[in-house]
Amino acid sequence: MSVVNPAAIKAFAQSRLSRTKTDKVDSELIARFTVAQGPPTWTPLPAEVRELQALVRRLESLVEMRMMEENRLSSTITVDTVRQSVEEHLAYLSEQIKRTEKLIRNYINSHPTLKRQSQLLDSIPGIAETTAALLLSEITDINQHRSARQVAAYAGLVPRERQSGSSVRGRTRLSKIGNARLRRALYFPAITAIRCSPFFQSWAKGLQERGKMSVICAVMRKLLHLAYGVLKTGKPFDPEWAKIA
């Protein structure tokens, strides 16, 4: 059994000029796609990764709910009982967020491999334990990726050029075809790294001087490259090594 992005099968159908959509036609199309593309066999996540992923995604949902309630509270609420209800819900959500963060921390500390990997990720400027936990839950098996660029592509953090002949020269942008959770998780760590890390400050300055694409996006991609490097080698972040990573 294989798990395939539905967009890939849709593109395959378009390439064959398929105009009919029925269960029978779709089944034949998926079979033809499988024969032509040979997608890899799906293997279930290890139990420890599945549980970590569930905890991290629950934390993500709680944070999103708290943000929504904070937005409601900052708007004009004229009814006191409604305001009180929102405030009580905010207090509850904050309590649940702290509880879930503790559960994630304890879970990682109780699994030696995850604990070691979290420590390696924490050595990278800008990445703290929350981001490390999300990276470990979304990059589920570092060995299935052959290179750092492949991991960046999985997160949708590789540049997509738009150029054809001499007349079409669009701006280079991120592909954004990939794991949106990874992209969201790396945004604020990238800002922190630029603000606080001499290594990233120097690296970002070089990008600006060369007129490269968005510095924040480039730093997000660099963070993911470094994450791949420390997990693959089992060695913590080293600024000298990272210059060529």
Total of domains in the chain? 3
In sequence order, the β-bridge partners of residue 164 are: 168
Which alpha helices (H) appear in 2-109, and where do they start and end? 6-15, 23-37, 47-74, 80-109
User: Do the beta carbons of residue 97 and residue 66 sit within 8 Å?
Assistant: yes
What is the distance between the alpha carbons of residues 59 and 98, in angstroms, rounded to a whole number? Answer: 9
CA-closest candidate to residue 159, choices 213, 228, 204: 213
CA-closest candidate to residue 230, choices 216, 242, 218, 240: 242
Residue 200 covered by a domain? yes
Do 23 and 51 share a domain, yes or no? no
The reported pLDDT for the residue numbered 168 is 42
What is the distance between the alpha carbons of residues 23 and 228, in angstroms, rounded to a whole number? Answer: 41
Do 149 and 183 share a domain, yes or no? yes
The reported pLDDT for the residue numbered 160 is 59
CA-closest candidate to residue 73, choices 86, 63, 92: 86
Indicate the pTM of the whole model. Answer: 0.78
Residue 168 covered by a domain? no
Q: How far is CA 94 from CA 61, 85, 188, in A?
A: 12, 14, 20
Do 70 and 157 share a domain, yes or no? no
Do 145 and 230 share a domain, yes or no? yes
Do 213 and 241 share a domain, yes or no? yes
Which tokens in the block code for residue 209? 């001087």
Eight-state DSSP code of residue 139? S
Give residue 22's domain range: 6-35
Do 141 and 192 share a domain, yes or no? yes
Do 25 and 133 share a domain, yes or no? no
Tens of each residue's pLDDT in the chain, 245 residues: 767 677 777 777 777 777 777 878 778 877 787 877 777 776 777 788 899 999 999 999 999 999 999 998 888 788 889 999 999 999 999 999 999 999 999 999 999 999 999 999 999 999 999 999 999 998 877 777 778 888 888 888 877 555 545 544 545 566 667 788 889 999 999 999 999 898 888 888 877 776 665 788 889 999 999 999 999 999 999 887 666 65
The reported pLDDT for the residue numbered 2 is 67
CA-closest candidate to residue 123, choices 111, 107, 135: 135
Which amino acid type is present at position 31?
A: A
